[in-house]
Amino acid sequence: MELTDKRFWKFEAMMLLCGVLLFCLLCSVLICNGAEIDSGSGIILILLFPIFLLYFAICGIPTWLLYNGGSWMKLAGYLYFISSLLVIAPIMTFMYDWNPATANMRPENMPIDEGTFFTDNEFAVIICVGWAMSLIIPVVFTSYLSKRWIIKDNQGHGWIVDSASRAIQGNLQSNVRAIAIGYRYNRLTLKCYLDSLPSEQDKEMLSDIAGEIISDFPPDKIPRTTEICEFSNVPISELDKLDSFIYIRTNEP
């Protein structure tokens, strides 16, 4: 989807909520494990809060660009992948020792069965696993809410179909077989199927229908339109109906 879409800022607001949820989750884990929060650790937590907000605001940009509609789980998948990758990739690049000769080395005077010592590689893996697990709840929750919010914005589709049904009354010509309508991401698409080659009069007719539909809504509801007239002699069932047909000529096969 495009960054110029006004819904992007609503999505960014949900990304800020994701950062808040992760921060609350972190505080809950610390409290449940009996961590003592003194002045030093308190300052660190306070600094982490805006960092989390900024981090997810940044993650929201590529997520929005990659997501082109679909289920909320698809949105959650993109967000989870990006928000995980931006932390795990640097850790595995700069902290993890990929040299088998020096990896997992312990101090020489430490017993082999000593389990309280973590090597740099073990510590890096623990951070990555902990980060990946902590993202699940905030990402799933905010992705679901984001999708619901997007769907809510698009519930005007029914009203647009009703408006289109009124707009075609008295505007159709005898050579019109069917008209399909689509509404995605604030773009209205009208596709007119004719039993003859399209003429300027046919295009003007479809433009008038689109104009009547647009006039029923605020300017930001339908800022973009696509109008298509084409000749077709295939059965109606084989035509692209976009979202739905708003007109089918009587006795069409």
d(CA 185, CA 244): 16
- pLDDT in the model for residue 21: 94
- pLDDT in the model for residue 179: 95
What are the beta bridge partners of residue 227? Answer: 190
Which residues of the chain, if any, have pLDDT below 50? 153-155
Which secondary-structure segment (H or E) carries 16?
A: helix 7-32
What are the beta bridge partners of residue 190? Answer: 181, 227
What is the total residue count of the chain?
253
Sequence spans of domains, the chain: 7-155, 168-248
- pLDDT in the model for residue 96: 85
Please give the structure tokens belonging to residue 38: 């003194």
- For the stretch 191-223, pLDDT in tens is 999 999 999 999 999 999 999 988 887 777 788
Please give the structure tokens belonging to residue 101: 């000769």
Q: Which residue has the tokens 């998948």?
A: 77
Tell which CATH architecture fits domain 168-248: 2-Layer Sandwich (3.30)
- For the stretch 20-50, pLDDT in tens is 999 999 888 888 877 776 767 778 888 889 9
What are the beta bridge partners of residue 193? Answer: 178, 230
CB–CB of 176/194 below 8 Å?
yes
Cα 137 from chain centroid (whole Å) = 17
- pLDDT in the model for residue 106: 66
- pLDDT in the model for residue 67: 84
- pLDDT in the model for residue 203: 93
Instruction: Sort residue 242 into left (φ over 0), alpha (ψ -120 to 50) or beta.
Output: left
Beta strand ranges found along the chain (DSSP E)? 176-184, 187-194, 224-231, 244-248
- pLDDT in the model for residue 107: 65
d(CA 21, CA 52): 10
- pLDDT in the model for residue 74: 87
Threshold 0.75, pTM exceeds: no
Beta strand ranges found along 104-186 (DSSP E)? 176-184
d(CA 86, CA 227): 42
- pLDDT in the model for residue 61: 94
66 closest CA partner among 144, 117, 147, 1: 1
